[in-house]
């Protein structure tokens, strides 16, 4: 089922190649933004883990950090 004007927003997207955010309920956009932030957080956590594990294997590199 479609909620609010999601069907209209989809038609606009097909016609113009751009979503018409004014026709998408705010809560949908907020959930999308929250998902992006969660992904960024996971990526940063993985990068930090990689740096720590790399340093622990190569003690000489600790000076660089």
Averaged over 5-22, what is the pLDDT?
Answer: 69
Q: Hey, how many other C-beta atoms are within 10 angstroms of the C-beta on 25? A: 13
pTM: 0.37
Spatial distance between the Cα atoms of 64 and 17, rounded to a whole number of angstroms: 46
With contact defined as beta carbons under 8 Å apart, do 9 and 20 qualify?
A: yes
18-45: per-residue pLDDT in tens?
766 666 666 666 667 777 778 888 888 8
Spatial distance between the Cα atoms of 39 and 32, rounded to a whole number of angstroms: 11
Indicate the pLDDT class of residue 53, thresholds 50, 70 and 90.
confident
């Amino acid at each position: 089922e479609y909620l609010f004007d999601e069907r209209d927003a989809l038609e606009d997207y097909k016609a113009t190649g751009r979503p018409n955010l004014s026709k998408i309920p705010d809560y949908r956009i907020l959930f999308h933004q929250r998902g992006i932030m969660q992904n960024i957080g996971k990526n940063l956590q993985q990068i930090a883990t990689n740096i720590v594990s790399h340093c622990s294997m190569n003690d000489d590199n600790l000076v660089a950090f």
